Structure 1
Amino acid sequence: MKLGILFVVIGQICTNNSFATGGRIWLLWNSALFEVDILDISPQTIHTKIIIRGSQTVFMFTLVYGFNKPAERVELWQSLQRYSHMSQGPWMAIGSFFTWNNKHDLETLVYSRLDRCLINDDWVNIFPEAYAYLMPEGYFDHCPCVVYPYGKPVTRKPTFKYFNMWRLDANFNKLNKGPMGDIENKVKVAKLALFKIQEELVSNPMEPTMVASAKDLFDELLNLETAWHMFMDQKTKLKNRRAKNKVIQIKDSNGKLCTTSSDIQQAFISFYKELLGSSNEVDPVCVPILNAGTLLNEAHYEILNAEVSSD
């Protein structure tokens, strides 16, 4: 997913670009669900106060991306100590601390379990059912961490709904059998296969066959994802082009601004009626003026009345 699309969907974004070369941490949130107050930003942290809209539940939230060298992480520990004194109520610190995998072959493979999701006692009291789920890294270098403050929600597979009008389409039986429908399914299958073997590698990370399979599945998934995103990019561009061609407002012949679809349609109809023909009275044709111009002679009549031939 591109950042532009992600930003539109999520709504708000904060980074520590001004504190670290190239930026290290991005925080994105849905402003309709959360009110976020940025309290502090450093090269290795973003410290915030978050209010869950509707419930008015308040908690402190710190994103961490520590430097590699121990000496550089001294500032990180100092920041976390300072945040602990600033934080009243529930507090979570999460970040990297991530499990890292360089995705090399067995001879040079490196696993580093650095995953951390730290909470205080107040968090446990407010969110007693909360837990963190460390997902398989997929095609990333790090394992994404999903936190469920109120416990994992119970979800059910959406039901398929059939509409009778679909059977009127002669191509209905061919739906979702084209190459794009097929590649979408291949992406899903490859992703599930990769996640499965990555979960197995957690308990046996140096097993040669599984390491090789994980690398092959990773390469396959990367290629499929690239093709799928190319298709989605083209689909988005087509959708945007259609949106640009849409008339959202127009002034009619009387200068009235039309904004509804019915008024816009009527404005176009009225314009072309007036342009191409209407019931309004027109001045009669002035025959003397016509006769003063160039007229067709008998030869012209014969040519115009002649039958059409292949010549």
Structure 2
Amino acid sequence: MGLFGFMETKVKARRFSKVFGKEWSIVTNYSAHNSGRIWLTWLPSIFSVSSCKVGVQYIHTLVTHRASMKSFWVTMVYGLNDASEREKLWEQIFDLATSISEPWLIAGDFNNILNLEDKLGSPCTIAEVKKFRTCLRSNDQMDFNTGGMFFTWNNKQEGRDKVCTKIDRVIVYRFWLSIFPHFSAEFLPEGLMDQSPCCMKLDNQIGNVRKPFRFFNMWTEAPDFLEIVKDAWNCSINGTPMFRVKVNSDPTNEDLLKQEYEARAEYAKAHQNQNGEMINAPDKIAETFVSYYQKLLGSDEGEVMDIHTEVIQAGQVLSESQKHAVIRPFTENDVRNAL
């Protein structure tokens, strides 16, 4: 990876030099907005960037991939919250399109849905999507079919209060897929953020050639073979609760949303100790489980004195016939009568 776009960094211009390393080159829109809402960074050894144009809601640059010498335009977008301000963005995209003949990629947070099904948990209207759709249609632009997460933003609420939207997109324009036929884009789980990052590859086939797995018997002769295999199998895999229920398969399904909410609640409860504190470390989780069952089942009381036979006989005991009835083999009729 050698080219990154960052949105809403919340880094002031005076602190910018303390945040970014010297090996990277960067363009920001501090000149258009005092918060520097958009950053475009790249490794000069992999990409060269020129012909930069900066606005409040976008950074527009011509990028050349040094290894392949292929050039293309990249526009990183971060739309404003106000709908009237976003109309200016649609107009600016239209103006940029009039002077572009090379492949063009537009990506980022448009702060606007494109389709009615792009929002869950809150009503939406045709008016919200109409002007964005018109912008893409008029400029011969296409919403690229991305992989990964369908919804790219959520309000971190649960149940009926949860709102999910697809406001982050990858838009491609004229000749893009003919120049980069194996291009791919995938939205990853949001983690601690409220938005999903997007990972794009110009050529998804590079380094992904499938090779058959071959097992060599001599590996078993290595002194630490079994230990290495055991460690690999015991390696813990972490993920977000979104993976527990496949809400992505049907994002409008209320039953799946309910299952997701219940799964998150069970996940949180299972990782709490008796004091209600979240436990994430594997060794601490094991201790919490042991402590829970010790409290549930009780502890060893040590040596218990034998009960005298005469004490037992003084109470109600089974007769000889009852004793034999308890230990006799059961028959097929006994099973039928019990059912």
- Please state which band the TM-score falls in when normalised by the shorter chain: 0.5 to 0.7
Answer yes or no: is 1:26 the counterpart of 2:39: yes
Alpha-carbon distance in 1 for matches of 2:98, 2:268: 43
1:135-284 correspondence to structure 2 within 5 Å: 135-153=188-206, 154=208, 188-191=237-240, 194-195=242-243, 197=245, 200=248, 203-204=251-252, 206=254, 207-214=257-264
Alpha-carbon distance in 2 for matches of 1:60, 1:217: 44
Answer yes or no: is 1:134 the counterpart of 2:187: yes
1:88-99 correspondence to structure 2 within 5 Å: 88-97=101-110, 99=152
Query: Could you say which residue in structure 1 is the equivalent of 2:81?
Result: 68
Query: Could you say which residue in structure 1 is the equivalent of 2:172?
Result: 119
Contact 1:15-1:26 within 8 A present in 2 as well: yes
Cα distance, 1:10–1:203 mapped onto 2, change above 3 Å = farther
Alpha-carbon distance in 2 for matches of 1:53, 1:77: 31
Alpha-carbon distance in 2 for matches of 1:13, 1:135: 24
Contact 2:244-2:260 within 8 A present in 1 as well: no
Which contiguous aligned blocks of 4+ residues in structure 1 show a shift greater than 6 angstroms?
Answer: 2-6, 215-220
Gaps of at least 5 residues in structure 1 are: 158-166, 168-172, 228-311
Contact 1:139-1:218 within 8 A present in 2 as well: no
Contact 2:182-2:203 within 8 A present in 1 as well: yes
Alpha-carbon distance in 1 for matches of 2:181, 2:164: 32
Cα distance, 1:52–1:104 mapped onto 2, change above 3 Å = same
Q: Which moved more, 1:209-218 or 1:94-103?
A: 209-218
Cα distance, 1:190–1:56 mapped onto 2, change above 3 Å = closer
Cα distance, 1:44–1:202 mapped onto 2, change above 3 Å = farther
Gaps of at least 5 residues in structure 2 are: 1-8, 10-15, 112-151, 212-222, 272-277, 282-339
Cα distance, 1:53–1:19 mapped onto 2, change above 3 Å = same
**Residue-pair matches, total:** 211
Alpha-carbon distance in 1 for matches of 2:178, 2:259: 45
Backbone CA RMSD of aligned residues: 4.4
- Find 2:68's aligned residue among 55, 72, 80: 55
Q: Which moved more, 1:211-220 or 1:33-42?
A: 211-220
Alpha-carbon distance in 2 for matches of 1:58, 1:68: 32
Cα distance, 1:213–1:16 mapped onto 2, change above 3 Å = farther
Which amino acid is the alignment partner of residue 125 of structure 1?
A: S
Question: What is the Cα deviation at residue 45 of structure 1?
Answer: 0.3
Identify, as 1 or 2, the structure richer in helix: 1
Contact 2:180-2:203 within 8 A present in 1 as well: yes
Alpha-carbon distance in 2 for matches of 1:208, 1:124: 39
Question: What is the Cα deviation at residue 53 of structure 1?
Answer: 0.6
Cα distance, 1:13–1:216 mapped onto 2, change above 3 Å = farther
Query: Could you say which residue in structure 1 is the equivalent of 2:285?
Result: none
Indicate the structure (1 or 2) with the bigger Cα radius of gyration: 1
